[in-house]
Amino acid sequence: MTSTSFNRLSFEGAVEAYLSDLQTRNYSKATIIAYRENLKRFDRFLKKKKLSEIHEIKLSHLLKFSEYLEKHKSKTGKPYCYSTRSKNLMTVRSLFRFLKKKGIILMDPSEGMPAIKSPQLIPQNALTIEESHAMMSQPRTHLPVEFRDLTIMQVLLSTGVRPKSLCSLTIYSLDFQDGFLRIDQAKFNKDYIVPLGSTALQLCRQYLERVRSKFSKHNPAEKALFLTRNGTPFSPQSLAVMIQKYAKKAKIQRSITPYSFRRFVGVEMIRSGKCSVLHVQQMLNHENLKYVHIYTKMMPTDLKKAHQSVPRERRLPKHDISFKGFDGQEAVFFKKRKS
């Protein structure tokens, strides 16, 4: 890109330069597609304001865009949630930072833009131990399809891998000798390995030896580990449908998704007291530790036990004591007289 084009660069041209840079930096295709959609939304807003060139965009326009996201509604007729609005504004900020870094613009209009305050929502659909037992008891293991489903759920329960990563596993991803699962091209285009529990390892071995061939006969060249009836690789959508089927069979009266297994792993690792947040971060392939701390907020029962264990929550002496009132901030008790 020549310097003469910098001053009159169109918004579309700036977006293409930015996305091309993300591609060279090895961002995943899914991330680039998501960023493109976010910037398309911003582009539609700019066209309503009759802005087409990148140097025309000011902070006031970005603030108006933030208001536009608050008022705008999705295809379902509902307002955009915090996550959608935040990701849109984050993408726009990232675009302008890139343009300033490359010298395409002199001033970054997004620098004075306030961040959207996070509501600090806690995920509600983490699987519990009781629910995991109920779901794992549903598949009839004499049926090849349901043996495959049991193996998939056990791998999810053992590793907490993301749905897309599970569906991208191949027959070469399993290390039976050392008990590890290799995950290639995961989120952030990272390759990493996670330990595989003995039960999951045993099921995977039996699945490969006795069951997978019943699906791969339709497509012998396919190397994906988990296959559908037609011999094609499992997709995240088919995985979600399968999980919902067994949750319904187990009579679980709430939404259970593949991510419920992932959150189960995070919560149980922290609950054990033997794993640091760094272990959880490595196991679940989180880029930032702030996402690991979410799991600590998903254990209200554990928090209640800890709260009750402190000295101020111990029981009062076994005397007949009644509450009298407060003297300033101090509670005053008195001992009842025996009649």
Point out the domain boundary residue: 64, 84, 112.
112
88 & 177 share domain:
no
Distance in angstroms (rounded) separating the CA atoms of residues 15 and 36 = 8
The residue to which tokens 């977006």 are assigned = 15
Q: What is the DSSP letter of 183?
A: E
If asked whether residues 61 and 148 sit together in one domain, one would say no
Whether 37 maps to a domain, the answer reads yes
Boundary-marking domain end, from 60, 87, 112: 112
Same domain, 184 and 292: yes
Q: Which pTM was predicted?
A: 0.64
Instruction: Judge if 275 and 134 occupy the same domain.
Output: yes
181 part of a folded domain:
yes
Which pLDDT score, from 0 to 100, does residue 316 have?
44
Query: What is the model's pLDDT at position 125?
Result: 78
User: What single string gives the DSSP state of each residue in 217-279?
Assistant: TT-TT--BSSB-TTSPBP-HHHHHHHHHHHHHHTT--S---HHHHHHHHHHHHHHTSS--HHH
- What's the CATH number where 172 sits? 1.10.443.10
pLDDT at 276: 79
CA 135 vs. chain centroid, Å, equals 22
Domain region containing 238? 129-300
160: left (phi over 0), alpha (psi -120 to 50) or beta: left
Residues 142 and 63 in one domain: no
How many domains does the chain contain in total? 2
- The token duo for 3 is 């310097």
- Contact between 127 and 254 under an 8 Å Cβ cutoff? The reply is no
- One digit per residue, the tens of pLDDT, for the chain of length 339 reads 444 444 567 888 999 999 999 988 888 788 899 999 999 999 999 999 898 888 889 999 999 998 888 887 777 778 887 778 888 999 999 999 999 998 888 889 988 787 666 555 566 678 888 999 999 999 999 999 999 999 999 999 999 999 999 999 999 999 999 999 998 876 666 788 889 999 999 999 999 999 999 999 988 999 999 999 999 999 999 999 999 999 999 999 898 999 999 888 888 888 877 777 788 887 887 777 777 777 776 665 555 555 555 554 444 444 455 555 555 556 555 555 555
The pLDDT, as a whole number, for residue 176 is 93
CATH code at 79?
1.10.150.130
- Contact call for residues 259 and 125 (beta carbons, < 8 A): yes
Compute φ and ψ for 80, nearest 5 degrees. Answer: -60, 135
* Pair (65, 133) in one structural domain: no
**Do 161 and 243 have their domain in common?**
yes
pLDDT of residue 3: 42
Say whether both 133 and 91 belong to one domain.
Answer: no
- Sign of torsion, CA 95 98 102 105? positive
Same domain, 17 and 86: yes
Same domain? 105 vs 148: no
Residue 337, domain member (yes or no) = no
331 in any annotated domain: no
Residue 215 to residue 237: CA distance in whole angstroms? 19
Q: Within 10 Å of residue 242's Cβ, how many Cβ atoms?
A: 20
